[in-house]
């Protein structure tokens, strides 16, 4: 029996184990990790447009049957943009903060909307913003996100879905990606989309992973796997995403997950390093595939330097996370605590 799969994504997400996402949260902001993963509080993740498009493309390409479990189709043809989007998102945050456990909003709309106006960046008067907002698609969008985000649904428009469908078609027909995307299970290989793996360990930390596409080649006894990314610039993926958004953490975690899966099911098979399939969220640039090496994975576990900047390895991040958990200290790093909060200005 093949092990390492769970029935649904909701079942997988309900399992309280660390993942590459939680490690990335800790590496970027340990307080955010504490609120989100320890206290189980809702944390506002300001997902970019490309991130939402990535989730849409991933769903339509790999698991279209799960669309309704993840997304809510907006009545608006297009979501608000620019400062009006900033205003709507701020309005949502302040409304949510003012809502009690019974679902009653405890502040007047004018008070909430003035707070939202103050942080939105608008230079025109508050009254002018309210006039633009009232009765518009922006108000409809606000009412929608207020209603559906509590059910962990993402509001998308018909324009979003149409754009995602074009990207999916590009991935299915482009010479760089079509051989991977269109491959179907056959006698010599097995194709698994969204493989969910739980219970593997990295340096004593139990973890889980959900991997976009896994192909088990029985003829060559090899396992290859891919993660799909949507970015503004596929050509600049290494610096703008792999480094700045710490995707190297995900690469290492997924590799360990696949090794665990391999050991349980195909112990004689070889695991190839992850490949990132990178598409353009605007569908203007050609998709690319970034192939990692064993040396890249060694860097990810140990840490590395690029352009005079140091990037912590997964081993160091896990060590610091375990220390924070053991000592319930989330406002200061392990190193700074051990140095009594005294740091040399220049090392």
Using DSSP, state whether 190 is helix, strand or coil. strand
Q: Are 266 and 158 in contact (CB under 8 A)?
A: no
CA distance 89 to 95: 10
Residue closest to 193 by CA, chosen among 212, 210, 178: 212
CA distance 7 to 271: 24
Is 100 a domain residue? yes
Range of the domain at 128: 75-156
Q: Indicate the residue among 93, 121, 156 that finishes a domain.
A: 156
**Do 245 and 324 fall into the same domain?**
yes
Q: Indicate the residue among 128, 156, 184 that finishes a domain.
A: 156
Q: Indicate the residue among 95, 128, 156 that finishes a domain.
A: 156
Is 21 a domain residue? no
User: Could you report the per-residue pLDDT of 267-305, keeping only the tens digit for each?
Assistant: 999 999 999 999 999 999 999 999 999 999 999 999 999
Q: What is the pTM of this model?
A: 0.86
> What is the DSSP track for 60-99?
HHH-GGGHHHHEEE-SSSS---HHHHHHHHHHHHHHHHTB
- Cα torsion through 265, 268, 270, 271, rounded to 10: 20
**Do 201 and 147 fall into the same domain?**
no
**Do 201 and 264 fall into the same domain?**
yes
**Do 124 and 248 fall into the same domain?**
no
User: Could you report the per-residue pLDDT of 82-127, keeping only the tens digit for each?
Assistant: 999 999 999 999 999 999 988 899 999 999 999 999 999 999 999 9
Of the chain, the percentage scoring pLDDT greater than 90 comes to: 84
**Do 132 and 203 fall into the same domain?**
no
| Count of structural domains, the chain | 2
CA distance 313 to 230: 24
CA atoms within 13 A on the CB side of 166: 12
- Cα torsion through 329, 333, 337, 339, rounded to 10: 170
Instruction: Please state the rounded mean pLDDT for residues 306-317.
Output: 95
pLDDT, mean over the chain: 92
Is 42 a domain residue? no
Is 22 a domain residue? no
Is 148 a domain residue? yes
Angle at 280 between CA 275 and CA 285, to 5 degrees: 105
pLDDT score at 1: 31
Is 121 a domain residue? yes
User: Could you report the per-residue pLDDT of 142-187, keeping only the tens digit for each?
Assistant: 999 999 988 889 999 999 999 999 999 999 999 999 999 999 999 9
Q: Which two tokens stand for residue 18?
A: 């660390």
Instruction: Please state the rounded mean pLDDT for residues 310-318.
Output: 96
pLDDT score at 2: 43
Instruction: Band the pLDDT of 13: cuts 50, 70, 90.
Output: low
Is 239 a domain residue? yes
């Amino acid at each position: 029996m093949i092990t390492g799969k769970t029935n649904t994504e909701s079942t997988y997400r309900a399992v309280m184990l660390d993942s590459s996402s939680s490690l990335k949260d800790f590496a970027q902001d340990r307080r955010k990790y504490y609120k989100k993963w320890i206290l189980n509080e809702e944390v506002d993740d300001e997902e970019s447009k490309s991130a939402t498009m990535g989730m849409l493309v991933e769903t339509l390409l790999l698991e279209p049957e799960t669309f309704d479990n993840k997304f809510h189709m907006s009545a608006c043809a297009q979501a608000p943009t620019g400062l009006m989007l900033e205003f709507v998102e701020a309005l949502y945050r302040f409304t949510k903060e003012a809502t009690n456990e019974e679902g009653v909003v405890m502040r007047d709309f004018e008070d909430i909307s003035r707070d939202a106006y103050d942080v939105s960046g608008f230079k025109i008067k508050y009254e002018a913003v309210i006039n633009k907002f009232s009765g518009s698609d922006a108000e409809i969008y606000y009412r929608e996100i207020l209603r559906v985000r509590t059910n962990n649904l993402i509001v998308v428009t018909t324009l979003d879905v149409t754009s995602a469908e074009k990207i999916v078609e590009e991935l299915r027909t482009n010479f760089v990606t079509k051989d991977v995307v269109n491959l179907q299970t056959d006698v010599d290989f097995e194709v698994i989309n969204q493989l969910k793996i739980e219970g593997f360990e990295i340096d004593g930390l139990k973890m889980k992973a959900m991997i976009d596409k896994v192909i088990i080649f029985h003829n060559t006894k090899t396992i290859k796997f891919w993660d799909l990314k949507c970015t503004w610039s596929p050509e600049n993926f290494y610096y703008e995403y792999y480094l700045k958004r710490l995707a190297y953490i995900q690469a290492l975690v997924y590799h360990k997950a696949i090794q665990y899966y391999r050991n349980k099911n195909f112990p004689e098979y070889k695991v190839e390093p992850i490949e990132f399939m990178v598409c353009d969220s605007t569908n203007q640039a050609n998709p690319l595939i970034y192939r990692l090496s064993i040396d890249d994975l060694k860097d990810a576990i140990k840490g590395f330097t690029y352009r005079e900047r140091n990037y912590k390895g997964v081993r160091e991040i896990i060590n610091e996370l375990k220390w924070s958990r053991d000592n319930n200290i989330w406002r200061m790093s392990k190193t700074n605590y051990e140095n009594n909060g005294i740091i040399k200005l220049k090392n």
